[in-house]
Amino acid sequence: MVRHWDLSGGAARLELAVEDLKAARAESSRYWHDGTSKKFDETYLLPLDPKVRRTLDAIHRLAEILNQARRECGSD
């Protein structure tokens, strides 16, 4: 049975994508480290972590609620 409400795969992909982005930025910082790169980090990368963390927390809470509803409805 396919669980359309299984959100763990999407959450895991999001976490991996953010890790990939951080690794790519770390690599690029070896060559790109001027004022524009600092502004890029401040504008886009630094605000990303708390937003992603809040999103993942919300996904995990929603997954718990959906799993509880599935159990209460008797659907495995």
Q: For residue 62, what pLDDT is reported?
A: 94
- Mean pLDDT over residues 45-73, rounded? 94
Query: Average pLDDT of 46-56?
Result: 96
Compute the Cα dihedral for 9, 12, 18, 23 and give only its sign.
Answer: negative
Average pLDDT score, the chain: 90
Dihedral sign from CA coordinates of 4, 15, 38, 32: negative
More confident residue, 1 or 58: 58
For residue 31, name the pLDDT band (cuts at 50, 70, 90): very high
For the chain, the structural domain boundaries read: 8-73
